[in-house]
Amino acid sequence: MPPNFESQSYWHDRYSTEAAFEWLIDSSTFMRILEPFLDRLDHSARLLHLGCGTSDLHNHLRDRGYSNVTNVDYERLALKRGEELEQSNFGDVNLKYVLADATQLQLGERYDLVIDKCTADAISCGAEDAVLRMAQSIRKHLTPGGCWISMSYSSSRFDIAELPFAAEAFATIPVPKERETDPDVFYWCYLLQP
Ligand SMILES: C[S@@+](CC[C@H](N)C(=O)[O-])C[C@H]1O[C@@H](n2cnc3c(N)ncnc32)[C@H](O)[C@@H]1O
């Protein structure tokens, strides 16, 4: 049986021992993809990082000058790991860590840029309409002009009727091959605009 990526208990068990892990691509590579979007935002911009897990992306965003970064996960241990990673890199904790379900956000704030790396993928393993609910939830939390960037393993992640966004795959990242004869496989980075 494949792992239950949509299940909170799967992530709880995993983060009981896992202190740091990057899904799909490392944060430096992701930052290069995000750069044209970050370049348009000043350092006071509000960033929402959904399903932060044990990634160090938040440290890269803080390094890049952003202090208003809200990291969300529905597993408390992920938030603890995130705080620990920030503390060990900067010697203090300045960013926000919020326990919330990305399919039913009620954060009381709006964001200029929402980022997820492989979180929509994990959510897609659950109920059929779970990514749609995530999208509807994000839509309500965007500032005018705000957008969502999602890194995914799927070339059809946002082929969803009623999606409240125009989705465009603007970057592809070749998945490293184990053998030269392996087929070309890509990760997909989407820009989602209301
Ligand atoms: C595949 S991991 C990606 C972690 C990180 N973004 C990375 O790239 O390494 C998915 C993360 O999303 C979180 N997650 C899954 N479903 C969620 C939901 N409904 N609401 C909030 N977080 C969720 C999991 O706890 C896990 O940390």
Q: What CATH code is carried by the domain that includes residue 74?
A: 3.40.50.150
In ligand 1, which atom is closest to the CA atom of 78?
27
CB-ligand 1 contact for 74 (6 Å cutoff):
yes
In sequence order, what are the residues at sequence separation of 6 or more whose Cβ sits closer than 8 angstroms to the Cβ of residue 130? Answer: 6, 103, 123, 124
Q: Does a structural domain hold residue 24?
A: yes
Rounded to whole angstroms, what are the CA distances from 103 to 2, 30, 72, 122?
A: 22, 23, 11, 12
Residue with CA at minimum distance from ligand 1 atom 13: 51
Q: Does a structural domain hold residue 61?
A: yes
Domain that holds residue 184: 8-155+163-193
Residue with CA at minimum distance from ligand 1 atom 24: 51
Q: Does a structural domain hold residue 87?
A: yes
Separation of CA 164 from chain center: 18
Q: 145-192: per-residue pLDDT in tens?
A: 999 999 999 999 999 999 999 999 999 999 999 999 999 999 999 999
Q: 58-113: per-residue pLDDT in tens?
A: 999 999 999 999 999 999 999 999 999 999 999 999 999 999 999 999 999 999 99
In ligand 1, which atom is closest to the CA atom of 151?
8
Q: Does a structural domain hold residue 178?
A: yes
CB-ligand 1 contact for 23 (6 Å cutoff):
yes
As for how many domains the chain has, the answer is: 1
* Residue 53 CA, ligand 1 centroid: distance in Å: 5
Cβ–Cβ under 8 Å, residues 153 and 185: no
Q: Does a structural domain hold residue 126?
A: yes
